[in-house]
């Protein structure tokens, strides 16, 4: 059974039909990339899966349970976590605190106000380990708002994986990076993805084709093709609609 | 290291506050210290909303009022023998009243943050004031509700008739409250509140409901505001509806912001400063509220992290600038502040004298000099000082602009 | 019936006065994201400036000059104050305008004293226009209505016909668009802020002598304004218009109603319980007592039921 399953998904904003019937199954452990021209509805699709919007029709199931219509925090608790296209961090808190907040729910502290955060379970140890993993240990006490762009992207990913979610959605993780940064970051993402299910929207085709197990092509709110990278590369419909100019 | 310093400073202040009454301090000092302790508690509770959770409230005094009136009635009931509660425990009742009201009104208040929250708090505050006016049978109308705190039922055996005794009680509760609120800011909830303040959307994607975080914080703020209200009731033994009015809410907002909302202990600094300022300034000049407003605007414009921010930044700024840099900076800015400040004071006092004093033809004393407001000379002096100061200010800004990046607050 | 119409006309007049204030407040909020706490303070300044000018010359001098002065002052405050705090976020901006309201009130006390000033209706308009069933309708009220309607038309034309107006309209529906279009946004902000508070100033000129010109007038008006813009829906001019009229008429109507709960019980054939104990006033409170509270009650209920307001499209 698929870990994440999208069935007949539609989303309208007034008269504008942004998502027009998407069916997609993501298998456990898969690295699935979604590509498509600007305005195809990729971000809307992510917002529908993660709970920012609720669909006009259709549904999304996670581990076989319906999640559409739930609030983002409820979906997150069921094991789906996402990153954002524009870094979405706590700018006025330091890196360590950012990660600590991201770890709290999965550490089972809830809305606790009777114990010090530092004494609650193993949060601090986990935050340090995570900081190591994303390579920000040296910047632990710096304000997140003062980090470099690439560092903020790394923190963004760190906060996304912190809760131990089984399914991760990455929304254009390398957006705005220079060529060198993209390369480093792709390696980093590959490492992160091990043992997890990942769905990623990405514009950089090198990143997409080097990381993805399968690729879906989204055009005008519909998926025109899904398959292995080599199949997608060879698909005439995709070439026409999307890769045309490059190929 | 930093935390140790803060705790040390707090302990020193506490020690001083505890010993002062026995050093033969006068009644005036004791009353002032009591007022300070109440204001500090109230401002700290306000910052649980504003600084920690990002909720700008224009109606925090409503919860103070809940504590005040519930405690006034509670004390009377204890005195009459209806309730068996030692006087020392009355603040628990006030805290409970504040909590209850916040728990009810919070349900409708914290659905949104930002401007909407601010407007709801204002609407609720206006409603509360109006309700208090409509029900003199509960709030006592103009003359208010009064009680007698000498109820002959205490844990310590003290009668609490003397100001010193009530001061000790208020101080103990204030210290407990401040310590509790500092502690709360370090719990998971406190950290999450900061996260909600910075970016509620992200919090929602980390498994938490921002609504609940705001709600719990709002209830905590209400609880301690109620406790502060209880201390108020114990101290003054009388209150009317004005304690829950907009003026009181505005006051705590200004005090907290002046102190610095981004620091846990900022409100303590703010409350101390504002209370002292109020007392000293109001004895010096009738126009003190105007100066107070000016100070508030100046802090918002030039030092958004408040007085505490300035104090924290100052040593570093001095170290970086060195002696010569410091002298240059001072040489540059002291005349500006002096001219603008002096000019403002002269003009304000003249205006005030002309429009509000008993007899405008009487000379007034300005900077130890008798001056007649009927002459043009003092007016022109004031205006010239203002213009010169503003000109220098613009000049300094232009010169300093390229060398100063964004953190120019301290200079 | 005649009294009812009279009250309705008065409510309409009050509502139009409210709209002169709330329209500017809404424009400023829509464009800049700043809920101008000091908006009613500029209304107060308009009244005081007009009083001062009319004591030098005539009422007509004040009518023209006072709103201009207020507008210039507002533009300067935007340029040297608001723009500086803008980078610290919306809460800082709200606090700044809050501090400003505080300061302007103190300033007014400082210059004109604590007591109301004798700002009077001009003699040329101080006569009875017509009389309906023994109730006089003064010419000044008609004049106020005329000014309010003229202003309404002028603002509408400005929005529909001028370039600045079109930019403002674009910003009303799509707040992010302006920045993308590369217009001189800071200057537009200054213009709109200055223009908005000038409207408030004009309302002060014609409202100050109709009501009372005193240091408390800003605070009294200020909170009602917030109710109106939130009630109408933040960012909606039409919403602000409807809300102004609804609140203006409702408040005026309520003042005339003095049936109490015990009257009601008596009318139904019962007897009101003996009024003793706490909250005994509940039996003797009439709608007229509640008129000042009504807007806030409406605000709180509305924000619970429909946070975006009557016609608003944005949540906050």
CA distance, residue C147 to nearest chain B CA (Å) = 30
User: Is the pLDDT assigned to residue B191 strictly greater than 60?
Assistant: yes
Of A89, A92, A97, the CB nearest to B202: A89
pLDDT, residue A82, reads: 92
Q: In this predicted model, what pLDDT tens digit does every residue of A161-196 receive, in sequence order?
A: 998 888 999 998 888 888 888 888 888 888 888 889
Count: domains in chain B: 2
Say whether B186 and A118 touch across the interface (CB within 8 A).
yes
- In a shared domain, residues B258 and B228: yes
C107 pLDDT more than 60: yes
| Per-residue pLDDT at B43 exceeds 70 | yes
Q: Range with the lowest mean pLDDT among A113-122, B125-134, B244-253, C125-134? A: C125-134
pLDDT the model gives residue B8: 60
Q: What confidence score (pLDDT) does residue B164 get?
A: 85
Query: Please, which pLDDT band fits residue C33 given cuts at 50, 70 and 90?
Result: confident
The domain boundary residue, chosen from B304, B326, B346: B304
Q: ipTM of the assembly?
A: 0.88
Whether C303 sits inside 8 A of B108 (CB atoms) is yes
- The residue behind tokens 């029900």 is B135
Chain B residue whose CA is closest to A82: B205
Model confidence at B95, in pLDDT bands (50, 70, 90)?
A: very high
Residues ≥6 apart with Cβ < 8 Å to C254: C287, C288, C290, C291, C294
Cβ separation of B188 and A111 shorter than 8 Å? yes
- Is the domain of B289 the same as that of B357? no
Final residue before a domain boundary, out of B304, B334, B356: B304
Identity of the highest mean pLDDT range in A133-142, B99-108, B377-386: B99-108
Nearest residue in C to B129, CA atom: C293
Contact call for A113 and B195, based on CB within 8 A: no
If pLDDT is split at 50, 70 and 90, which confidence band does B53 have? very high
Q: Is the Cβ of B304 closer than 8 Å to some Cβ of chain C?
A: yes
- The structural domains of chain A, ordered by start, are 1-79+212-247 (3.40.50.300)
* Cα B355 to Cα B335: distance, rounded to the nearest angstrom: 30
Which carries the bigger pLDDT value, residue C280 or residue A48? A48
> Is residue B408, in this structure, part of any structural domain at all?
no
Which residue from B minimizes the CA distance to A105? Answer: B207
Contact check, Cβ <8 Å, A89/B199: yes
Mean pLDDT of B105-116: 84
Mean pLDDT over the full length of chain A: 87
pLDDT of residue A215: 92
Specify which residues A20 forms β-bridges with: A10
Residues B73 and B40 in one domain: yes
pLDDT band at C40 (very low <50, low <70, confident <90, very high): very high
User: Nearest CA to CA, how far is B392 from chain C (Å)?
Assistant: 16
Q: Are B127 and C293 in contact (CB under 8 A)?
A: yes
Query: Would you state the pLDDT for residue A134?
Result: 87
Residue among B191, B210, B212 with most chain A CBs within 10 A, to mutate: B191
Percent of chain B with pLDDT over 90: 38
Flag whether B409 is in a domain. no
B380 assigned to some structural domain: yes
**C69 against C6, higher pLDDT:** C69
In this structure, the answer to whether residues B226 and B147 fall within a common structural domain is: yes
Residues of B in contact with C84 (CB under 8 A): 301
Residue B101 confidence (pLDDT): 96
Q: Give the pLDDT confidence of A200-244 residue by residue, as tens digits.
A: 998 888 889 889 999 999 888 888 889 898 888 888 888 777 655
Q: Under 8 Å CB-to-CB from A89, ≥6 apart: which residues?
A: A98, A144, A145, A152, A155, A156, A159, B199, B202
C-facing residues of B in 217-256 (CB < 8 A) are 246, 250, 253-254
- Chain A residues with CB inside 8 Å of B188's CB? 104, 109-113, 115, 117, 120, 123
Are A72 and B186 within 8 A, CB to CB? no
Q: Which of the residues B197, B199, B202, B205 would you substitute to probe the A interface, choosing the one with the greatest number of A C-beta atoms within 10 Å?
A: B205
**For position B231, which CATH number holds?**
1.10.3470
Q: Residues B394, B281: one domain?
A: no
**How much is the average pLDDT of B97-112?**
92
Give alpha helix (H) positions in chain A.
42-50, 72-77, 95-104, 123-133, 149-162, 179-193, 205-211, 229-234, 236-238
- Nearest chain C residue to B288 by CA distance is C106
pLDDT digits (tens, 9 = 90+) for C155-196: 888 888 888 788 777 766 666 666 666 667 788 888 889 999
Give 3-state DSSP helix, strand, coil % of chain A, rounded to 5.
Answer: 40, 25, 35
pLDDT grade for B405, boundaries at 50, 70 and 90: very low
**Distance from C-alpha of B75 to C-alpha of B93, rounded to nearest angstrom:** 10
Please, do chains A and B touch (3+ CB pairs < 8 Å)? yes
Same domain, B79 and B17: yes
Mean pLDDT computed over B95-113: 91
pLDDT for A170: 92
Q: What is the mean pLDDT of residues C268-290?
A: 72
Judged by CB atoms closer than 8 Å, whether chains meet at C307 and B246 is answered as: no
Q: What is the DSSP string of B154-169?
A: -SS-----SHHHHHHH
Residues in chain A: 247
- Looking at residue B1, what is its pLDDT? 47
Report the pLDDT value the prediction gives residue C316, as an integer from 0 to 100: 40
Q: Average pLDDT, stretch C205-225?
A: 87
Residue C285 CB neighbours (<10 A): 15
Rounded Cα–Cα distance for residues B240 and C146 (Å) = 44
- Mean pLDDT, chain B, whole residue set: 86
* Rounded average pLDDT over A85-112: 88
Q: What local confidence, expressed as pLDDT, does residue A247 receive?
A: 39
Q: Please state the pTM of the whole predicted model.
A: 0.88
| Chains B and C touching, counted as 3 or more CB pairs less than 8 Å apart | yes
**Cβ <8 Å between B355 and C219:** no
Please say if the pLDDT value at position A97 is more than 60.
yes
CB under 8 Å to C98, separation ≥6 — which residues?
B58, B250, B253, C37, C38
Question: Subunits that touch chain A (at least 3 Cβ pairs < 8 angstroms)?
Answer: B
Residues 203-262 of B with CB under 8 A from A: 203-209, 212-213, 216, 220, 262
pLDDT reported for residue C70: 94
Give me the phi and psi of A122, to 5 degrees please. -110, 30
Judgement on whether residues B316 and B204 belong to the same structural domain of the protein: no
Report chain B residues whose CB lies below 8 A from the CB of C88. 304
B203, pLDDT greater than 50: yes
Residue C203: how many CA atoms within 13 Å on its side-chain side? 31
Please indicate, yes or no, whether residues B274 and B350 belong to a single structural domain of this protein.
Answer: no
Task: Summarize the confidence of residues B259-282 as an average pLDDT.
Answer: 88
Residue A57: pLDDT over 70: yes
Q: How confident is the model at residue B190 (pLDDT cuts 50, 70, 90)?
A: very high
Model confidence band, residue C257 (pLDDT cutoffs 50, 70, 90) = confident
Residue B372 in domain: yes
Domain that holds residue B217: 2-304
Last residue of a domain, one of B272, B304, B336: B304
Residue B119 in any domain: the answer is yes
Confidence of residue C312 (pLDDT cuts 50, 70, 90): low
Does B266 lie in the same domain as B319?
no
pLDDT over threshold 80, residue A120: no
Reported as a single tens digit per residue, the pLDDT across B345-362 is: 888 888 888 877 777 777
**Stretch A120-134: mean pLDDT, rounded?**
86
pLDDT tens by residue, B311-333 = 888 888 878 878 888 888 888 88
C272-288 average pLDDT score: 71
Q: Which tens digits make up the pLDDT trace of C110-160?
A: 888 888 888 888 877 777 777 766 667 788 888 888 888 888 888 888 888
Flag whether B406 is in a domain.
Answer: no
Provide, as residue numbers in chain B, all residues whose Cβ is less than 8 Å from the Cβ of C282.
Answer: 135
Give B339 or C258, the one with higher predicted confidence: B339
Domain assignment present for residue B410? The answer is no
Which residues from B are below 8 Å from A112, CB to CB?
A: 187-189
Whether residues B180 and B276 share a domain: the answer is: yes
What residues have CB less than 8 Å from B205, skipping those under 6 apart? A50, A72, A73, A76, A81, A82, A88
- pLDDT confidence tier of residue C303, bands split at 50, 70 and 90: confident
Predicted local confidence at residue A115, as pLDDT: 81
Whether residue B356 is found in the same domain as residue B224: no
Pairing of strands A167-171, A197-201: parallel
pLDDT band per the 50, 70, 90 thresholds, residue B22: low
Residue C133, by phi and psi: left (phi above 0), alpha (psi -120 to 50) or beta?
A: left
Coil, helix or strand for B200? Answer: helix
Q: What is the pLDDT of residues B298-314, one digit of tens each?
A: 999 888 888 898 888 88
Both B203 and B333 in a single domain? Answer: no
- DSSP class of residue C117? P
B203 within a domain of the structure (yes/no): yes
pLDDT given for residue B86 in this prediction: 92
Residue partners of B2: CB distance under 8 A and separation at least 6? none
A82 to B189: CB separation less than 8 angstroms, yes or no? no
């Amino acid at each position: 059974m698929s870990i994440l399953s999208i069935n007949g998904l539609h989303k309208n904003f007034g008269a504008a039909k942004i998502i027009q019937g998407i069916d997609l199954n993501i298998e456990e452990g898969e690295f699935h990339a979604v590509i498509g021209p600007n305005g195809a509805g990729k971000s809307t699709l992510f917002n529908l899966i993660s709970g920012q919007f609720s669909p006009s029709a259709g549904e999304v199931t996670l581990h076989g349970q319906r999640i559409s219509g739930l609030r983002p925090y409820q979906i997150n608790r069921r094991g789906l976590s996402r990153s954002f296209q524009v870094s979405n961090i706590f700018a006025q808190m330091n890196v360590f605190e950012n990660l600590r907040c991201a770890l709290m729910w999965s550490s089972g502290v809830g809305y606790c106000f009777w114990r010090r955060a530092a004494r609650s379970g193993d949060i601090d140890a986990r935050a340090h380990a995570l900081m190591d993993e994303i390579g920000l240990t040296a910047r632990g006490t710096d304000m997140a708002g003062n980090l470099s762009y690439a560092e903020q992207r790394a923190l963004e990913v760190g906060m996304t994986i912190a809760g131990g979610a089984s399914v991760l959605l990455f929304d254009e993780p390398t957006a705005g990076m220079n060529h060198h940064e993209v390369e480093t970051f792709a390696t980093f993402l590959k490492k992160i993805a091990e043992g997890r299910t990942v769905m990623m929207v990405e514009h950089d085709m090198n990143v997409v084709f080097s990381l993805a197990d399968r690729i879906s092509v989204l055009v005008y709110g519909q998926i025109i093709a899904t398959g292995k990278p080599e199949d997608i590369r060879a698909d005439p419909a995709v070439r026409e609609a999307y890769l045309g100019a490059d190929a | 290291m930093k935390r140790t310093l803060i705790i040390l400073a707090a302990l020193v202040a506490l020690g001083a506050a505890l010993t002062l009454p026995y050093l033969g301090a006068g009644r005036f000092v004791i009353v002032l210290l009591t007022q300070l302790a109440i204001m500090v508690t109230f401002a700290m509770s306000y910052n649980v909303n504003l600084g920690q959770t990002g909720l700008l409230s224009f109606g925090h005094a409503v919860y103070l009022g809940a504590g005040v009136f519930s405690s006034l009635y509670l004390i009377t009931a204890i005195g009459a023998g209806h309730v068996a509660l030692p006087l020392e425990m009355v603040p628990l009742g006030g805290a409970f009243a504040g909590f209850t009201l916040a728990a009810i009104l919070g349900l409708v208040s914290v659905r949104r943050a930002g401007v909407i929250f601010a407007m709801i708090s204002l609407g609720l505050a206006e409603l509360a004031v109006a309700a208090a006016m409509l029900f003199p049978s509960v709030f006592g109308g103009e003359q208010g509700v009064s009680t007698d705190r000498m109820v002959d039922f205490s844990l310590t055996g003290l009668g609490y008739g003397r100001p010193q005794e009530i001061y000790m009680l208020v101080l103990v509760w204030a210290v407990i409250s401040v310590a509790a609120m500092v502690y709360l800011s370090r719990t998971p909830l406190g950290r999450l509140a900061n996260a909600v303040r910075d970016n509620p959307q992200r919090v929602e994607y980390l498994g938490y409901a921002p609504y609940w975080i705001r709600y719990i914080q709002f209830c905590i703020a209400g609880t301690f505001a109620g406790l502060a209200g209880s201390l108020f009731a114990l101290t003054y033994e009388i209150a009317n509806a004005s304690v829950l009015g907009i003026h009181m809410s505005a006051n705590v907002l200004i005090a907290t912001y002046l102190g610095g909302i981004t620091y846990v202990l900022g409100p303590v600094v703010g409350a101390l400063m504002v209370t002292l300022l109020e007392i000293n300034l109001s004895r010096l000049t009738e126009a003190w509220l105007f100066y107070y407003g000016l100070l508030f605007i100046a802090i918002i414009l030039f030092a958004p992290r408040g007085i505490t921010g300035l104090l924290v930044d100052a040593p570093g700024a001095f170290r970086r600038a060195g002696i010569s840099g410091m002298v240059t900076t001072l040489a540059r800015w002291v005349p500006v502040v002096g001219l603008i400040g002096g000019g403002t004071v002269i003009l304000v006092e003249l205006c005030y004298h002309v429009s509000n004093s008993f007899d405008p033809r009487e000379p007034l004393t300005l900077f130890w000099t008798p001056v007649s407001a009927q002459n043009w000379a003092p007016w022109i002096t004031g205006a010239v000082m203002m213009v010169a100061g503003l000109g220098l200010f613009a000049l300094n800004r232009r010169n300093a602009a390229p060398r100063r990046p964004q953190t120019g607050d301290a200079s | 019936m005649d009294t009812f119409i009279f009250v309705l006309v008065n409510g309409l007049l009050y509502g139009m006065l409210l709209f002169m204030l709330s329209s500017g407040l809404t424009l400023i909020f829509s464009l800049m994201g700043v809920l101008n706490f000091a908006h009613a303070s500029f209304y107060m300044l308009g009244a005081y400036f007009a009083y001062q000018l009319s004591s030098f010359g005539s009422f007509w001098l004040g009518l023209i000059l006072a709103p201009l002065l207020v507008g210039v002052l507002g533009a300067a405050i935007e340029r040297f104050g608001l723009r500086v705090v803008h980078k610290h976020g919306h809460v800082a901006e709200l606090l700044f305008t809050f501090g400003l309201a505080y300061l302007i009130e103190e300033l007014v006390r400082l210059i004109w004293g604590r007591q109301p000033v004798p700002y009077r209706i001009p003699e040329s308009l101080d006569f009875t226009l017509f009389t309906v069933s023994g109730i006089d309708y003064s010419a000044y009220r008609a004049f106020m209505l005329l000014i309010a309607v003229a202003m309404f038309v002028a603002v509408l034309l400005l929005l529909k016909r001028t370039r600045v107006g079109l930019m403002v309209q674009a910003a009303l529906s799509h707040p992010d668009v302006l920045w993308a279009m590369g217009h001189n946004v800071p200057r537009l902000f200054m213009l709109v802020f200055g223009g908005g508070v000038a409207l408030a100033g004009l309302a002060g000129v014609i409202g100050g002598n109709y009501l009372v010109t005193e240091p408390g007038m800003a605070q009294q008006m200020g909170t009602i304004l917030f109710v109106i813009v939130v009630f109408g829906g933040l960012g909606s001019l039409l919403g602000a218009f409807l809300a102004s009229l609804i609140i203006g008429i409702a408040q005026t109507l309520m003042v005339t109603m003095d049936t109490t709960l015990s009257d009601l019980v008596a009318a139904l054939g019962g007897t009101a319980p003996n009024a003793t104990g706490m909250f005994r006033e509940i039996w003797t409170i009439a709608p007229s007592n509640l008129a000042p509270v009504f807007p806030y009650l409406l605000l709180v209920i509305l924000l619970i039921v429909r946070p975006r307001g009557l016609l608003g499209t944005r949540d906050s």
